[in-house]
Structures are given as C-alpha cells and as structure tokens.
Amino acid sequence: MKVCKTRHELAQSLHESSIGESTHGVSQLRGLVMTMGALHAGHARLLKAGREAADVLIASVYVNPLQFGPHEDFEAYPRPIESDLALLESEGVDIAFVPSDEEMYPRTPLVRIDPGPIATVLEGKTRPTHFAGVLQVVHKVFNLVRPDVTFFGQKDAQQLALVRTMVEDLDMGIEVRAVPIERDSDGLALSSRNTYLSPEERRRALAIPAALRAGREVAEAGGSAADVREAARSVVTGADGVVLDYLVLVDPYTFVELPHDASGRGLIAAAAWVGETRLIDNMEVEIR
C-alpha cells in the first residue's frame, strides 16, 4: 500500500496505477472510500465493498475541520493513524491518502459548495454548517482522485443523499454506492463516537436501535406512516438517560417528512444525546 501525504504524491501514485491497464487498453476501475479515521468494522465493510468492485482502491483518512461546528469535538476527535493505516492495508487498499490541513486547505476556501435544502433539516438544522463542509471536502477529494465509483455508508444517510445529489446535479460522472449499516452484536450502529460512551451510557443508547426496530415491525405489520412514527418515537422518548434530538420518517432521497397516509419506501432517522455523546441512526422501512 502506498501512503500519500501530498497531492503530488497522490497524483504520482494514481499515474503509476494507471500504467497497469490491460493489454486490450481497458482502463482499470478506480474506487474511493473516504473516511475520517478511527476506523472500525463499519469502515472495513466499506473497504471490502470497494475491494470487490474496483481494480485500484483508494482510501482517504482526513478529519475535515470544515464540517465541525465551533463547539463540536474537532480537537478531541480520535486520530489513531497507525492502526488506521494497518486496517487499510489489511483490507487491500492500494493507495492511502492522508493529507494535513495545510495540504487540503492551503488557504481559506473562497469558492464554497451550497448543499441546498436537504442540508437545512435534521442533521443540517442541528449542525448548520456541517454539510457544506462535508461536500466541500468530498468535492475536493473527488477532483484529486477522479474515481469511477465511491462508497458511502448508509448510517450517514443524509450525507449519502447529499453526495448523490451533488454528483447528479454537477454531472460528476461518479457512481455512488451505499453500503449497509454495520451493527455491533447488541444492535448499536458502529460509530467512532461510541468510544465516548461509558458502559452504562452504551446500555442506554440501545434504545435508539430498539426504536427503529419497533417502527419497522409496525410497518411490516401493515401500519400507517403515522403508526410507524409513533411506535418508534414512544420507545426512545421513554428511555432513561436518552435525550431525543429528532425522530422522523422521511423520504430517503429528499429527506422530506412523509405524510401520515404515505406509502412506499421511507427512512426512520433518529438522533439523540446519551450523556455528552450525540448518536445518529436510521432504518429503511416499506409502508404498505
């Protein structure tokens, strides 16, 4: 695995990888997985999907300051770079891009990405500048790597929807593939922020996936959108030590809340505070 810390090193490694085209002149499929490090089994699932699909797999590890608000955990965010690189190599990554802030943003960006209306609700309402920062760095890395296909986790469903929208609206010609949520044996969605939880807080956090399952069960039993929403909300609002930020039933592409009599595919999306840690989770449902 080649580890690149600068744009020049990345460009050189990508050029060298392109020399390996087949004798028939067929270009190799270039895949990209973007991460903020502190890698876990959820990231490994993304990398496995990338490795299966791509001839050349590139992974980035970068804690992007533009997507953190002024009072969020940017400084405290875990950065175990050695173990991260070891996991990337074990999953068959060909090129790891690990830039510094100075390399990514040699000056304050003057041209910014406007993420549009999807970014003003749910996570965007709680974190107003978050998705603009996300799309800024995603767009930059897309331009540096020029992937054919990229892989994003379903856990960050709103981010996934926004990346897809950006790629479509700006005609970027990249296939965006969703990778299902990886969960621990107790049902909690894997997240780098789970390490912030005490054992008791982790136990309390299980109310979040329990709420999503309750909503899905109601949907599978033929309940209405209103029933699904109420079933999920009742579980988490009654949970000790869990402070609900939001729990909604939305269209998985537009993130507009579904009306009470909606049918078809929906997404139960939730965010809650457990102690000082804010967790998000979601689950797709089919409303009959």
* 191 annotated ligand-binding residue: yes
* 85 annotated ligand-binding residue: no
* 214 annotated ligand-binding residue: no
* 15 annotated ligand-binding residue: no
* 48 annotated ligand-binding residue: no
Q: Of the residues 8, 24, 43, 260, which is catalytic? A: 43
Strands (E) located in 154-240: 175-179
User: Which residue pairs from 163-167 have beta carbons closer than 8 angstroms and sit at least 24 positions apart in sequence?
Assistant: 163/134, 163/135, 163/138, 164/253, 165/116, 165/118, 166/113, 166/115, 166/135, 166/138, 166/139
* 67 annotated ligand-binding residue: yes
Alpha-carbon span 3 to 26, nearest angstrom? 26
* 38 annotated ligand-binding residue: yes
Helix (H) or strand (E) holding 42: helix 41-53
- Give the 3-state secondary structure of residue 92: coil
* 193 annotated ligand-binding residue: yes
Alpha-carbon span 172 to 168, nearest angstrom? 7
* 43 annotated ligand-binding residue: yes
* 154 annotated ligand-binding residue: yes
User: Which residue type, as a one-letter code, is found at position 214?
Assistant: A
Q: Quick check: is 43 catalytic?
A: yes
Alpha-carbon span 228 to 218, nearest angstrom? 6
Task: Give the residue ranges of DSSP H helices in 146-188.
Answer: 157-169
Q: Which two tokens stand for residue 154?
A: 């379903």
* 24 annotated ligand-binding residue: no
Residue ranges of the annotated binding site for beta-alanine are 67
Residue ranges of the annotated binding site for ATP are 36-43, 153-156, 190-193
Residue ranges of the annotated binding site for (R)-pantoate are 67, 159
Question: Looking at the annotation, which residues are catalytic?
Answer: 43
Residue ranges of the annotated binding site are 36-43, 67, 153-156, 159, 190-193
